[in-house]
């Protein structure tokens, strides 16, 4: 009888160990499948349309390449529709203290919402207060080095921010290159 009890006890311990391993494998497998089959984020045209209207006023904060310090300058933005193209907008950047840096860019959203201005959409979140957070990514050059860029857009009718982060090809961490912060 004692031998049967010892054998049953041994089998129970072995089953518990195997069950823990199976549960762990299922959890890890589920996470991997979730990443593989995660639907790609889609930016909506209305997410950008809200930017049209009165001028945005604020600042551009950036890391200066030479001194490696944070610098902030006044920056304004006016967003207007781009004529007949319902999927693009003119972003008119104005720098009151540095007017030679003023520029206009055409920003285009693909009709499927998967790309904004050549940046792949990876996340779209709508907060309870109506703020939309968009995260996009793309490859490029920063300070004459191959880099990977991540952009985070926070958009609502009163505030608009765009943060640009950079990760060099041979590094594992992102750092903040610049951030626009506007209000109206």
Question: Residue 81 belongs to a domain with what CATH number?
Answer: 2.40.128.20
21-38 core/surface letters (b: 16 or more CB in 10 A; e: else): eeeeeeeeeeeeeeeeee
pLDDT number for residue 65: 78
Other C-beta atoms within 10 Å of 132: how many?
18
Q: Are residues 91 and 164 in the same domain?
A: yes
pLDDT number for residue 25: 62
Q: Are residues 9 and 34 in the same domain?
A: yes
pTM of the complete model: 0.77
Q: Are residues 50 and 34 in the same domain?
A: no
Q: Are residues 26 and 74 in the same domain?
A: no
Rounded (10°) CA dihedral 140, 47, 70, 166 = -30
Q: Are residues 51 and 32 in the same domain?
A: no
Q: Are residues 110 and 142 in the same domain?
A: yes
Number of domains in the chain: 2
Q: Are residues 78 and 154 in the same domain?
A: yes
Q: Are residues 116 and 149 in the same domain?
A: yes
Range of the domain at 21: 1-38
Q: H or E segment at 2?
A: helix 2-36
Q: Are residues 89 and 3 in the same domain?
A: no
Q: Are residues 103 and 134 in the same domain?
A: yes
Q: Are residues 30 and 75 in the same domain?
A: no
Q: Are residues 81 and 1 in the same domain?
A: no
Q: Going residue by residue through the chain (184 aa), what tens digit of pLDDT does each one get?
A: 556 555 545 666 565 655 555 665 655 555 555 445 556 799 999 999 999 999 999 999 998 878 888 999 999 999 999 998 999 999 999 999 999 999 999 999 999 999 999 999 999 999 999 999 999 999 999 989 999 999 999 999 999 999 999 999 999 999 999 999 999 9
């Amino acid at each position: 009888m004692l031998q049967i009890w010892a054998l049953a006890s041994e089998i129970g311990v072995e089953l518990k160990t195997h069950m823990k391993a199976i549960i762990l494998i299922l959890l890890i497998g589920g996470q991997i499948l979730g990443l593989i089959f995660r639907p790609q984020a889609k930016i909506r045209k209305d997410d950008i349309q809200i930017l049209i209207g009165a001028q945005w006023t604020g600042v551009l904060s950036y890391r200066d390449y030479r001194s490696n310090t944070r610098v902030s300058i006044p920056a304004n933005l006016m967003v207007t529709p781009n004529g007949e193209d319902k999927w693009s907008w003119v972003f008119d950047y104005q720098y009151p203290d540095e007017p030679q840096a003023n520029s206009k860019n055409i920003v285009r959203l693909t009709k499927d919402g998967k790309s904004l201005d050549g940046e792949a959409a990876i996340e779209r979140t709508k907060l309870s207060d109506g703020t939309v957070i968009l995260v996009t990514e793309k490859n490029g050059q920063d300070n004459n080095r191959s880099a990977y860029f991540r952009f985070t857009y926070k958009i609502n009718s009163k505030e608009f921010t765009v943060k640009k982060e950079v990760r060099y090809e041979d590094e594992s961490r992102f750092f903040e290159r610049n951030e626009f912060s506007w209000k109206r």
